Structure formats: C-alpha cells, structure tokens
Amino acid sequence: MPWLGHEFVALSAEGDPRGSIEDEMAGLLARMDAQLRQRGLGLDDTVRTRLWARDMTAWAGAVEERARILSGPARSVSSSHIRPSRFASDARLSLDLLAMRPNDPASRKVCVEYEPPTIVLRHLVLERVLFISGNTVVMPSFDEQLPVVVGRIADTLAIAGSSWQRVVRASFFLHVSQDMDHLRAAFRRLVPCEVAGCEYAPVDTRQGKLIEIEVTAEV
C-alpha cells in the first residue's frame, strides 16, 4: 500500500489458542514474518504493532512476549487493547502489524526511548515519517486523562521536529463507557488545528485507562 511516498505492508491476524499465551504471540509474529519475507521484508521492518487481547491475562503475557521478539532492529512503536467482541475465533490474541519499506535500503529506524526506558518505545523516525506509540494515563476521569495524553503527544511531536499540523493519522481508542462525540469536542478544544486522518475505535477495560491515542506524522 503506497502512503507518504513509501510502500507499507499492513497485516492482521488472530492467534492459535492452543498452548500458552506466549506461544500464541510468538506464532502470530512468526506467521507475519513469513508473509513479510514473501515481499522482501521482515520483522526488522516493523514500524507499528497494535495488540488486541481477549482479557487481562492474555494481555499481560502477550505484551512481554511481543517486546521480547520485537527487539533490536525490530524495535517499533506499539499499543495494546482489550476487546473480546473483536474476535471471530477462539483466539486470545489478535495483532495488527505495519511494516515500511525504506526508499533507501541503507536507511535505519531512529528509535527514541522513554527516560527511563519502558517496555514501550516512545517514538521512531524512518525517512522523515514519525511513528508514536499509543499514549495513555491512569487518572480518575476521562476529562482528566485526555489533556495529559494530548500534552504528552505534543511533547513527543516537538522532540521529533514535528507538530499537530503535520499529523497524517491520529487513532483514538475510547473506552466503551465514554461518549465519542464528547471525545471529538474535547480534542478539538485542546488541538484547535485540523488534524488529518482521525480514526476511532471502542475498547474495553484495561487498568482504568479511558483513552489511548496513536499518532503518525511527517517531520
């Protein structure tokens, strides 16, 4: 799929629930690696993954295994969500993976960690395309969480030499207890400029987090 002057490969699959959660996560990534290799790419070309889990037990095991496998040159931005109604099979895990083919084969991802580093990468830049991991926070209410999340993303955009005006996709994952119209209105108040490529999805409970936002931008 051509986008932003580059070729991207987007893959989505559900896992095989036989065996451990770690086996299911490893199997998903192995299958995706095989599909990428058919296109001359591999897991090292991953720029973003989005994990969907059936419950918190599945989520906890999967995020650790994903980080273990997608390390070193495969280190990439990420998010993770609980959404049991998303599954069409008995799988406990589902994964969306985005890989990018650099125009210059010598190009390498510039990965920036949080201080101190966490399991989640703060952001990466590859050939002037910026990918920011999902940002979220635990606070008592949505109206308290959203400004903090938006502020953290604004800080990351600035660190990378970008801005909200250069965002090409903003993905909002809103807890099912919250109102989508309220999210849109509150976000417009916080970010008055036009933000391109907004997409929205409902998610279920995860540690009291009511909103998570991923961003892709140009630098």
Q: 206 pLDDT exceeds 80?
A: no
Asked whether the whole model's pTM tops 0.85, one would answer yes
Cβ contact 132:77 at 8 Å: yes
Q: How far apart are CA 176 and CA 167, in angstroms?
A: 25
CA angle 11, 169, 39 (to 5 degrees): 25
Alpha helical stretches, state H, 70-210: 142-159, 180-190
Instruction: Delimit the domains of the chain by residue range.
Output: 1-126, 128-219
Tell me the average pLDDT of the chain: 97
DSSP one-letter code for 210: -
Q: How many residues does the chain have?
A: 219
Cβ contact 145:211 at 8 Å: yes
pLDDT at 68: 98
**Hey, what CATH topology would domain 128-219 get?**
60s Ribosomal Protein L30; Chain: A; (3.30.1330)
Helix 56-69 vs helix 21-37: crossing angle, to nearest 10: 50
Burial label, 115 (beta-carbon count in 10 A; 0-12, 13-18, 19+): exposed
**Hey, what CATH topology would domain 1-126 get?**
60s Ribosomal Protein L30; Chain: A; (3.30.1330)
Counting residues of the chain whose pLDDT is more than 90, the rounded percentage is: 97
